[in-house]
Structure 1
Amino acid sequence: MDTSILCNLLGVPGKCQDREKVIGELKRKRENRECDLLLPVTAIIETGNHIAQLSDGRVRRTCAERLSGVLRTVVDGTAPWALNEVEWGAEHLRALISGGSTGSTLVEHACNQLGCGDLNILVERDRYLARTSGVAATVWTLDELLASYA
């Protein structure tokens, strides 16, 4: 799942216009047990940045507390998703620079307005697939450009 999904689930103002739809989709995914959900590190960081940029301090605090609560459930193993544990090293950066399995480099994606955060989510997915076997993985997103690679 990407930042657009996490922001909707947390109700981040200005980033949660599809909240009911996302909550409904999460319930459906959980009830049908159709997939395992992974929370990419990138989605956590980008969501935290969106929260930090909120102008209303009370709302910023409320959203930060929600994010902190969600992260606690991930650590405790009670969240409906798992953290996508990824090693941030030279191999990861090489994959990011080359664009992972997308067929385009980081530079080409930047020129086509796919940000480094979205590209990193794709690279995280690629690396997850490389260390697991017999699974398929897509990216749950509301972003049309990211979805085209998901």
Structure 2
Amino acid sequence: MARPVAFVDTSVFCNILAVPHMHQDHSSVLAELTQRRKTHDLILPVTAVIETGNHIAQIADGRLRRSCAEKFSAVLRMVVERKAPWTLNRVEWDEAYLLDLVGGAGTGATLVDLAVQHLGCGDLSILAERNRYLARTTGTTAEIWTLDGQLASYS
């Protein structure tokens, strides 16, 4: 059986990058990253990249915004160069993906019902991406590594 996989959520990625006002658990997340690398293959979903980039763009202090954006850019380059602790997941933005998203990505509820329950489309997108990953792989499990209790309940 292949090693288990963990999809890195935005809450974790922001802590790793120490995004201002979004890194309250920085030390514990870095410690957990060290442990998870020993037991899991880590995947950085496209949603975590987009949401983290948006959080960085909203940092009020221009110097901090630039510094954080430079660190973010460097980490993304490391991913491309296969030097980061996680890999990319190829995901197709197509009809099947959107139907999975609208259908609730295997949660048992629809996008509308989940939105009413405050589960955002970004979180739902990570679940849909994980579903697509599992559909094309065999012999592994995939969880969502998140600090968000609601998203964790679907992991």
Which TM-score applies when normalising by structure 2? 0.94
Alignment of 1:1-150 (within 5 A): 1-30=8-37, 33-150=38-155
Distance 2:105 2:13 in 1: 23
Per the alignment, in what secondary structure is the counterpart of residue 102 of structure 1? coil
- Residue deviations 1:91-113 (CA, integer Å, cap 9, x gap): 11011000111111100000000
Per the alignment, in what secondary structure is the counterpart of residue 145 of structure 2? coil
Percentage of identical aligned residues: 59
More helix by share: 1
Distance 1:83 1:125 in 2: 12
Amino acid at match of 1:44: V
Per the alignment, in what secondary structure is the counterpart of residue 145 of structure 1? helix
Per the alignment, in what secondary structure is the counterpart of residue 41 of structure 2? coil
Distance 1:23 1:65 in 2: 19
The Cα shift of 1:127 comes to: 0.5
The Cα shift of 1:34 comes to: 0.8
Q: Detail structure 1 runs of 4+ shifted over 4 Å in the superposition.
A: none
Which TM-score applies when normalising by structure 1? 0.97
Amino acid at match of 2:23: C
Q: How many residues of Structure 1 are paired with residues of Structure 2 in the alignment?
A: 148
Amino acid at match of 2:13: L
Distance 1:100 1:114 in 2: 12
Identify unmatched segments of 5+ residues in structure 2.
1-7
- Residue deviations 1:108-131 (CA, integer Å, cap 9, x gap): 000000000000000001110001
Identify unmatched segments of 5+ residues in structure 1.
none
Amino acid at match of 1:78: K
Distance 1:146 1:100 in 2: 12
Amino acid at match of 2:94: G
Amino acid at match of 2:14: C
Distance 1:44 1:12 in 2: 13
Per the alignment, in what secondary structure is the counterpart of residue 5 of structure 1? helix
